[in-house]
Amino acid sequence: MRQNQARRAALLDAAIDVLAREGARGLTFRAVDAQAGVPGGTASNYFANRDDLLTQAGTHVYERLTPDPETMARSLEGPRDREKVLQLMHEVVGRVSAYRAGYLALLELRLEATRRPGLRAVLTPRIRKDVDDNVDYHLSSGLPGDATAVTLLYLAMNWLIVERLTLPDVFGEEQARELVERAVERLIPEV
Amino acid sequence: MRQNQARRAALLDAAIDVLAREGARGLTFRAVDAQAGVPGGTASNYFANRDDLLTQAGTHVYERLTPDPETMARSLEGPRDREKVLQLMHEVVGRVSAYRAGYLALLELRLEATRRPGLRAVLTPRIRKDVDDNVDYHLSSGLPGDATAVTLLYLAMNWLIVERLTLPDVFGEEQARELVERAVERLIPEV
DNA sequence: AACGTAGTACTACATCTGGAGTGGTGTCAA
DNA sequence: TTGACACCACTCCAGATGTAGTACTACGTT
């Protein structure tokens, strides 16, 4: 088992791309090698088996999905009102939709977790933490809306992103924008 | 190409089960044969290729997911108030979660649609129609809440189901129930 | 400066697996 | 008798895996 951490990370990035592009069906060691631009057989030297690869990819996606602290700080500038929440939601939906590969890979991993207890054990606390962090962040930053409101927003926004990424013509871009606005409008109190 | 419709339907049912259990990765002609309990090579005689199989499965899932008219009529008995909406939501979430294979298969198909234009072309109008039907049904039956409210409920409930089916420990059963209640409470006006 | 060693990169191979498709035969019903 | 279908068996093929063997690089030793 090789120890080059930079290369391992590159392979995991490649694995995420492959997951998104080819699906769990296409995630093979050789496909990862090709995507990462390394010689065939390399991934075999870095991961014991498919399960190992998937599990590590699972923890890795989140490191790419979370925004850098700077962006987060900047997004909080100005008054903490409903308008700000709307702005944040647009930002989140935009950011996640933009990292298409990451989000799609995460969906693939969720489905794969259905049959792999090891993967499920990795993803569950990670996502649980994500939800909690979202709520905590929202509450502690003094934005309007309670924990329930934030959670409901989380649910709605996630599915909206799924729709946009998988069947973009079900809700057009304009309609998607409007749904974000309506969701905030109805779930977040106007101070 | 064989014409036996009953057998074709049975093969499609089997395909849905395979999709849910093994994922898109596992959906092969032979796996469908095995699941349907027919001799190897049968599915080859009924579907031209993988793409054909997936597309037909896509249209087929919905026939299994939609509730029978009788159930729907019965669920509307009594006063048309917010309490009734809540009851309907519990019913929907329960019914869909119960048909685990169908819903998971649909998710797999959504992801597969990402790479198969033909499948996307089949799923998009089907799901668009589903959303519209939900809204129309709600409005025309005189339940409280406008089109926006129904759509937002649709979004939130869908993701809640995803959470429950893929990572059941992120939201426990009790918490899921409560989220359904809160969603109705906040999105549907009290007459 | 020459040498040795360890860890890694790269190449190539041998093997394995499983699925696809098809031809042939049996069966049943019109 | 004929046609459509069910069933079985066989061949072919593609892709994935893991590893043995070789080359390279960096670093430490003498």
State whether A179 and B114 contact (CB < 8 Å): no
- Give one word for B109, left, alpha or beta, with left for phi > 0 and alpha for psi -120 to 50: alpha
Gap between the Cα atoms of A150 and A165, Å rounded: 22
**CB B24, CB A23: distance < 8 Å:** yes
SS3 B25: helix
- What nucleotides of chain D have any atom within 7 angstroms of a protein Cβ? 4-10, 15-20
- Domain boundaries B66-187, corresponding CATH code: 1.10.357.10
CA distances in angstroms from A76 to A64, A95, A140, B141, listed in the order given: 21, 16, 12, 43
State whether B113 and A151 contact (CB < 8 Å): no
Q: A130: nearest CA in chain B?
A: B170
Tell me the domain boundaries of chain A: 5-50, 66-187
**CB B114, CB A111: distance < 8 Å:** no
Burial class (CB in 10 A: 0-12, 13-18, 19+), B69: exposed
Residue position matching structure tokens 């030297």:
A45
Tokens at B20, concatenated: 């849910």
Q: Which of A38, A31, A1, A4 is nearest to A17 (CA)?
A: A31
**CB A19, CB A108: distance < 8 Å:** yes
The rounded mean pLDDT for chain A is: 95
**Does A30 contact strand D, using a CB cutoff of 7 Å?**
yes
Q: Which of B53, B45, B163 is nearest to B109 (CA)?
A: B53
Gap between the Cα atoms of A87 and A113, Å rounded: 33
Task: List residues in chain A touching B: CB distance below 8 A.
Answer: 21-25, 104, 107-108, 110-115, 120, 123-124, 127-128, 131, 148-149, 151-152, 154-160, 162-163, 165-167, 169-170, 179, 182-183, 186-187
In tens digits, chain B (191 residues) has pLDDT values of 899 999 999 999 999 999 999 999 899 999 999 999 999 999 999 999 999 999 999 999 988 888 888 988 898 999 999 999 999 999 999 998 889 999 999 999 999 999 999 999 999 999 999 999 999 999 999 999 999 999 999 999 999 999 999 999 999 999 999 999 999 999 999 97
Q: A178: nearest CA in chain B?
A: B148
State whether A148 and B120 contact (CB < 8 Å): no
Gap between the Cα atoms of A7 and B111, Å rounded: 28
Give the pLDDT band of residue A191 (cuts 50, 70, 90): confident
The verdict on domain A5-50 having CATH code 1.20.120 is no
Q: B186: nearest CA in chain A?
A: A187
* Closest-lying nucleotide for A6 based on CA to C1': C8
Gap between the Cα atoms of A38 and A33, Å rounded: 5
Total count of residues recorded for chain A: 191
State whether A127 and B159 contact (CB < 8 Å): no
Burial class (CB in 10 A: 0-12, 13-18, 19+), A27: buried
Gap between the Cα atoms of B102 and B112, Å rounded: 15
State whether B124 and A169 contact (CB < 8 Å): yes
